[in-house]
Amino acid sequence: MTTRKVNIVKSADWITILLYLMLIFMGWFNIYAAVYNDEYNSIFDTTQRYGAQLLWIGLAIIIAFILFIVDNKAYHFFAYIIYGIVVFILVGVLFFGKEVNGARAWFELGPIGLQPAEFGKFATSLAIARFLSSFNLKIHKLENIVIILLVILTPAFLIILQNDTGSALVYLAFVFVLFREGLTPWVLIIGVVVLLLFFASLLLEPLTVLISLYVFTIILFRLNNNKALREILIATSVIFALSGVIWLVVYFFKLPINFYFSVVIAIFLAGVYFLFYAYKKNLKVVLLLIAFFAGSLIFSFSVNYVFDHVLQDHQQKRINVLLNRDVDVKSAGYNVHQSKIAIGSGGFYGKGYLKGTQTKFNFVPEQSTDFIFCTVGEEWGFLGSVTVVLLFVFLILRIIYMAERQRSVFGRVYGYSVASILFVHFAVNIGMTIGLAPVIGIPLPFFSYGGSSLWAFTILLFIFVRLDASRMELF
């Protein structure tokens, strides 16, 4: 293999850099609007959040420049070391960190608060990229899957211990990266099914869940022509129908049998059916059917128990707000309710910069951080909101385009990690401000107030910009 040096300034993706600069300065102007005070009206006043954010922006640009001039090979070489250091820091914050809003996730460095969880994302991205770029690695091997899961789940688990579940959930973004690298799409499909079953189990009666599963199974059966899968679907349909019939009998005849006991009866009869079925069909299919049926039932029945006894009170309230059940707009649903009012009141053109009444009178808590998009919706209106959304979509699509043109696996995997993390943050943050996602307290990239998040996203992005600038060195 031969190498050549390239002019990284000329080969840098200036479109991505321009999008980055547009987003951080638009965020700065919106932070100013969100916390505007007539007594402190200078946008450069460093005693206020907008002034401090300008300092963070200046430092972020310096960080971006340093990352850009570092040799691109250093990121590959030091990937595991960087990951190890960040994991060590995540452990340290559990013992020496400062508790903020119930989460022990911050280091207090004089006037600056540093949140290590934000930096775990780029460190994990580097480690995953380094591992997946190993020579002749096969992602489907069990030992490789275990290693990948350990790399992803270790920082996520440490962040959960800090009581910052929202930041930990962002690590689900790496599923998209693994899918791009060849992981079976069934992982995504199963994940979506589990998510739907989770919400269905909370919203619907057990009988309705069983009937819904039965109807869904029939639809799949009619659409699929694969013989083995058809056999599985037929047998599964029989079991779901059997469970539903038993519960109907119990329900209409008011028998002194609860739903769980009726399921036990269904499983017993299912066992008899499977014994008969095993004589005619492949035993492997039968075992798969049993595992699928038992797993679905156990998961569905355990959802309410986990919701009532495992999740913390504030987590239950956030899910209830999302599902619109037992919502008190004066307590748990207050943030989302006021957020919707603020965004909706902006109309098509918005009320005008610094003229938002919901913003001006502080109706929405955390409006300069997690709910910064409310300011955009109220003061810039539908047009401004769409502009911001399109800028994020364009940036993410641009990163995916850059990832696909990489000549190294390391660069491609890291690029997809950047795109996936930004997408999850962008989608969930805006989703929670308009009531389509639970309020889990994650910032809008480059927009929300905070030095830790701005620096972490800058590092995440500009490592990839540097890798992309040198993509032509290998040929």
Whole-angstrom CA distances from 378 to 32, 118, 202, 357, 438 are: 14, 28, 33, 8, 21
Helix 313-323 and helix 283-309, axial crossing angle in degrees, nearest 10:
110
pTM: 0.78
Q: Is the pLDDT of residue 17 over 90?
A: yes
Q: What average pLDDT is seen over the chain?
A: 78
Q: How far apart are the C-alpha atoms of 77 and 20, rounded to whole Å? A: 27
* 457 band by pLDDT with thresholds 50, 70 and 90: very high
Question: What are the boundaries of each domain within the chain?
Answer: 8-183+328-473, 187-310
Q: What mean pLDDT do residues 261-266 have? A: 58
Tokens 């300011």 belong to 375
**152: enclosing H helix or E strand:** helix 142-161
- Give 11's contacts (C-beta < 8 A, 6+ positions apart): 468, 469, 470, 471, 472
CA dihedral of residues 139, 168, 390, 68 (deg, nearest 10):
-70
* pLDDT, position 475: 40
- Segment 21-71, tens digit of pLDDT: 999 999 999 888 888 877 777 888 878 888 889 999 999 999 999 999 998
Backbone angles phi, psi at 37, to 5 degrees: -140, 130
Amino acid sitting at position 14: W
Whole-angstrom CA distances from 324 to 51, 110, 327, 475 are: 38, 42, 6, 55
What's the full length of the chain, in residues?
475
- Give 381's contacts (C-beta < 8 A, 6+ positions apart): 346, 347, 348, 349, 350, 351
Q: Is the pLDDT of residue 10 over 80?
A: yes
* pLDDT, position 292: 58
- Segment 330-358, tens digit of pLDDT: 555 677 777 778 887 888 888 888 887 77
- Segment 142-188, tens digit of pLDDT: 788 889 989 999 999 998 888 887 888 889 889 889 888 877 766 66
Q: Is the pLDDT of residue 458 over 90?
A: yes
* Alpha-helical regions (H) of 70-96: 73-77, 79-96
Torsion over CA: 347, 351, 357, 360 (sign)? positive
For residue 43, count CB atoms less than 10 angstroms from its CB and return exposed for 0-12, middle for 13-18, buried for 19 or more. Answer: middle
Nearest to 335 by CA among 374, 361, 380, 377: 374
- Give 363's contacts (C-beta < 8 A, 6+ positions apart): 338, 341, 342
Higher pLDDT, 238 or 142: 142
Of 98-112, 312-326, 371-385, the range with the lowest mean pLDDT is 312-326
Higher pLDDT, 305 or 445: 445
Q: What mean pLDDT do residues 434-446 have? A: 82
